Structure 1
């Protein structure tokens, strides 16, 4: 028989619209369940954050700004 798990706000004990957050701060990770009334600052901070950006692929070959030896430079002549 399946059991329904009811999450409760760690601050006030409410069970409606409770969300679980995993917070890592100072190398320590904690999980907290909060209702919308008490989760506001955490949600605001989360929305300020950015998604991790993928690392750009390395290009092979010369770039558009290739180095030219000084002997080969005409100097606009």
Structure 2
């Protein structure tokens, strides 16, 4: 059994950048975990607790949940 240290600090901005880094229209918690080094559980919690300025859509596909940013988050007003 390996000892785990504290998870690294990741900003909301870093999490949202993962949506742009993948070459598909959605991300999974595994996609983000690979990029930022947080657990899938912690990523799910963070995505669900984003502030009111960020809207993240989600949909369950089989046993997985996919997440995407609707166009309204693109910064166009």
* TM value normalised by structure 2: 0.23
Structure with a larger share of its residues in strand: 1
TM norm structure 1: 0.23
- Which one has the largest radius of gyration? 1
